Structure 1
Amino acid sequence: MTVPPKVRLAGRRLLQAVPALLGIIIITFLLTRALPGDPAVYFAGPAADAASIAEIRHRLGLDRSLPEQFLTYVGDLATGNLGTSISTGQPVLQEIITRLPASLELTLAALLIAVGVAVPLGVLAATRPDGWVDHACRFVVTAGVSLPTFFTGLALVYVFYYLAGWAPAPMGRLDIISLPPEHVTGFYLIDALLAGDVAVARSVLAHLALPALTLALFTLAPIARMTRAAMLQALGSEFIRTARAAGLSRRRILIVYALRNALLPVVTTLGMVFSFALGANVLVEKVFAWPGIGSYAVEALVVSDYAAVQGFVLTMALLFVLLNLVIDLTYTLIDPRLGLEE
């Protein structure tokens, strides 16, 4: 039985990710134990005596040696148990499942906005070097790289919520008078549309607009810059000159030949930007009180919540592995020859 090339590629990428995941588990475990503060002291409260703190430390397993704690942690991971968060009292896995869709919805919305603006802007800038579009592209790239996300978010809130009154209060994913849609995907916008609830969908869009725009301004800069550079290189290639000499239309040359050949570095950049956006989510979620996984990780770090921090890092590592797999498979769609390489 012949295994399809894409299946072999996916299998190789997953096997290559196993050592990386093992290293992440070990490093995360050691780094969380090096964090300042004692979770047992936080959990016991300011009025607890030494005996109560020692009892809680024993209950949490923190009085054992590091090798024993690590073996217990790996054993729990093997059964799908990420532990219990001491800051919320809930299982970490349940918290991640509940909060992760909010972060992914925000990140994907921002990437859609960024790609929708950056790719056409980069293409136009490459076709008109040193023109006003090219200068506008450079300005957007410079602004996107220079402005911190928390500053951009606060500025947008000040202008569109405080001054203009167009945007809702930056307090989560929905108005306080609206009920969340029935859970299907965890993405409020998709769930509201599936339920046919137009009012909730409008509320979700209104609350999603400013945080998604904040994150999009941060992510579109590298996408626009890479699109412009890749298109300039493609348009100066020999095959483009041959296509022009053959009498092909400008539109066909630009879209079918130049843009398709420029997509590989753009897709690579898009994967990197997605990773950066998940990290930048932390600040955006704090500014807009967005109940995502980033704000959950920050709160866990403050109180040295080992289980929550480890669960967050492991989740992000798995997302990056899946993202790299998707990028590799996307390469084979853009250039089928890559799927045949062993």
Structure 2
Amino acid sequence: MKTLLVIGRRIVSALPSIVGVVIVTFLLARALPGDPAAYYAGSSATPESIADIRSRLGLDKPLVFQFVDYVEKIAEGDLGTSLSSGQPVLNDLATRLPASMELTTAALIFALAIGLPLGLLAAVKQGSLADHLCRIIVTVGAAFPTFFVALVLVFIFYYKLDWAPQPLGRLDEIYFSAPDPVTGFYLVDTLIAGDLEAFRGALSQIVLPAISLGLFALAPIARITRASMLAALSSDFCRTARAMGLSKPRILIGYALRNAMLPIVNVLGMVFSFLLGANVLVEQVFAWPGIGAYAVNAVIASDYAAVQGFVLVMAILYVLLNLAVDLVATAIDPRVRYDG
């Protein structure tokens, strides 16, 4: 019951932020250069046809009335229709969101698999060559933009070495068939379907974009792991455990890492949020059909409904992600279980 109250409190506290996102997004979308009515009408349209389209889209109304119409549609679960695709924005986002979530999750797993051991090693071997080497690696990894790393990886592993497949999306559908959507994650759905060949094809497609995106997340994960582990290892309970003669692995894993997990989980939430927004350029490089590429095309086309829908969905995802991080944190550390 208390957990439900905490969840409700978190959701209520996030409502003002979502309202602010709706207002700011609406205003910024109208500030985009270009005329969506002219884009929709085409290059051969006459001023009369453009005016007619603007009237049918409701763009000739004052901003206040446009905003009221927009809020009423949101309340009905209608995010509008995309001028670019001609489909409801909600359908477009629902179709593309699993691709972005799969890429972001794969990038976070890659960053965790390398950043967590690096941070542990740097903390255990503080001041050693390994410590300095770890800090150099994570600093260099975070120094380059994700799109630059993506282009370099494509150039080396696809163009030069021919080890990677063509960067043409989630699956090369010339050789493989897309699995029936169950979770929306190709790596999971291909296993559910028992299609190991398609699984290997999907895995080969996601490796380079996941590395490109995950390299940037290495630095914060490794740094917070190192700092948290140093604080835990220097604490009284770890000194007492060493004095009692407990083994080093038990002290590291059972005591130090367990108590260091709370700040690590908190930073993982921020990193995941960042990766979900930062995958825009990576999706462009690898032709990944996610919501990032969808948002870029919407901005270029001054597609108000698509831009507003994208930002609103991302804001809701961030709220849900922060809620999940809070719940995991309370499960790790009972001292903060019902705080806030």
Read off the aligned partner of 2:276 and give its amino acid letter: L
1:115 maps to what in 2? 112
Q: What amino acid sits opposite 2:197 in the alignment?
A: A
Q: CA deviation at 1:142?
A: 0.8
Say which of 311, 315, 324 aligns to 1:317: 315
Counting aligned pairs with the same residue, the percent is 60
Shift of 1:218: 1.1
After TM superposition, list the pairs within 5 Å mapping 1:12-31 onto structure 2.
12-31=9-28
Taking the TM superposition and a 5 Å limit, the aligned residue runs for 1:37-116 are 37-116=34-113
Aligned to 1:150: 147
After superposition, what is the alpha-carbon deviation per residue over 1:186-240, rounded to whole angstroms, capped at 9, x for unaligned?
1111110000001110100000110011111111111001101111111112221
CA offsets 1:284-326 (integer angstroms, 9 cap, x no match)? 0001000000000000001110000000000100110000000
Q: SS state of the match for residue 35, structure 1?
A: coil
Within the alignment, does 1:229 sit opposite 2:227 as a pair?
Answer: yes
Partner of 1:166: 163
Partner residue of 2:328 out of 325, 330, 333: 330
Q: In structure 2, what is the Cα distance between the partners aligned to 1:157 and 1:135? A: 29
1:45-68 CA-to-partner distances (Å, cap 9, x unmatched) read: 111111011000001100011111
Match of 1:259 in 2: 257
Task: For residue 104 of structure 1, report the CA deviation from its aligned partner.
Answer: 0.2
**1:277 paired residue number:** 275
Partner of 2:123: 126
The CA deviation at 1:337 is: 2.0
Which amino acid is 1:302 matched to? Answer: I
| CA displacement at 1:79 relative to structure 2 | 0.9
Aligned-pair distance for 1:71?
A: 0.8
Whole-angstrom distance in 2 between the partners of 1:131 and 1:160: 33
In structure 1, stretches of 5+ residues that fail to align are none
Residue identity in the other structure for 2:155: Y
The residue that corresponds to 1:218 in the other structure is 216
- State the 1:262 CA deviation: 1.1
Residue 340 of structure 1: CA displacement? Answer: 3.6
Task: List per-residue Cα deviations over 1:100-158 (Å, max 9, x = no partner).
Answer: 00000000011011111111110111000122321221122111220110110011111
Amino acid at match of 2:166: A
> Could you tell me which residue of structure 1 aligns to residue 180 of structure 2?
182
- Whole-angstrom CA distance in 2 between matches of 1:69 and 1:328: 37
SS of 2:162's equivalent in the other structure is: coil
User: Match of 1:262, as an amino acid?
Assistant: A
Q: How far apart, in 2, do the equivalents of 1:144 and 1:279 lie? A: 18
Alpha-carbon distance, 1:336 to partner: 1.3
Number of the residue aligned with 1:8:
5
Number of aligned residue pairs: give it: 339
How far, CA to CA, are the matches of 2:128 and 2:103 in structure 1?
34
Q: Specify the alignment match of 1:240 in structure 2.
A: 238
Superposition TM-score, scaled by structure 2 size: 0.98
Residue type at the aligned position of 1:235:
L
> d(CA) in 2 for partners of 1:34 and 1:341?
41
Over 4 Å off, 4+ runs: none
Q: Once the 2 structures are TM-superposed, how far is the Cα of residue 260 of structure 1 from its aligned partner?
A: 1.2
Offset at residue 257 of structure 1 (A): 1.1
Give the drift of 1:244: 1.0
Letter in 2 for 1:246: M
Amino acid at match of 2:259: N
TM-score (norm 1): 0.97
Which range moves more in the overlay, 61-70 or 240-249? 240-249
Rounded Cα–Cα distance in structure 2 between residues aligned with 1:6 and 1:139: 42
Aligned match of 2:300: 302
Q: CA RMSD in A?
A: 1.0
Q: Is the 8 A contact 2:142 2:218 kept in 1?
A: no
1:195 paired with 2:193, answer yes
Deviations 1:61-97 (A, max 9, x none): 0001111111111111111111000011111000000
Question: Aligned partners of 2:140, 2:274: CA distance in 1, in Å?
Answer: 17
1:278: Cα distance to partner?
1.1
Q: Secondary structure at the match of 2:337?
A: helix
